[in-house]
Amino acid sequence: MAVDMNMNILVVDDYKTMLRILRNLLRQLNFSNIEEASDGAAALKKLRDCSIDLIISDWNMEPMTGIELLREVRGDGKLKHIPFIMITAESKSENVIAAKEAGVSNYIVKPFNAETLKSKMASVLGDF
């Protein structure tokens, strides 16, 4: 099934720079419906208010971290089906294992490039 390029993507990061980088890279990949949140709590509110098709989230944020957001999403009957890509500088084995156990769909290590972003999205959504 073809990927819907009009899907709503929620990008979560506490660094404005990274939000802007991701927005621009996603736009260059032809995704234009991008929502932003600066921490897990704000993301959760947006997830409950809007219809989101993919979450791309940082790990290190306050007051709710990316892994806490992931657990909340997977524990919510209405949100648990949404693909969740963690994008973080936390690449220690225990972090990756914790994310996998919490139900992460894929994991991108910072610094990353556009090709990696595209391939990880494709592994979750299908080729585009």
Partner 1 sequence: MLPGKVDAALRQRLEELESKHGDTVRIADIAEVVESMMATLKGDVVGADLAIYAELESLARYIQTAKTEIARLRPDQVKEQYLPAAADQLDAIVEATAEATHTIMDATEIIEGVMENLDGENSQKLMDATTRIYEACGFQDITGQRITKVVNTLKDIEERIDALVAAFGSEIEKVKAEQPEAEEKEEKKDSDEKLVHGPQLPEDAKSQAEVDALLASFD
Using CB under 8 A as the criterion, which residues of the chain lie in contact with partner 1 when the complex forms? 13, 15-18, 20-21, 24-25, 28, 60, 89, 110-114
Nearest approach, Cβ of 57 to partner 1 (angstroms)? Answer: 14
Taking the least distance from each CB to partner 1, the nearer of 50 and 114 is 114
Nearest approach, Cβ of 62 to partner 1 (angstroms)? Answer: 11
Taking the least distance from each CB to partner 1, the nearer of 61 and 82 is 61
Taking the least distance from each CB to partner 1, the nearer of 17 and 51 is 17
Cα(64)–Cα(37) distance, rounded to whole angstroms? 12
Taking the least distance from each CB to partner 1, the nearer of 16 and 48 is 16
Nearest approach, Cβ of 98 to partner 1 (angstroms)? Answer: 18
Nearest approach, Cβ of 88 to partner 1 (angstroms)? Answer: 9
* Secondary structure, 3-state, the chain: CCCCCCCCEEEECCCHHHHHHHHHHHHHCCCCCEEEECCHHHHHHHHHHCCCCEEEECCCCCCCCHHHHHHHHHCCCCCCCCCEEEEECCCCHHHHHHHHHHCCCEEEECCCCHHHHHHHHHHHHCCC
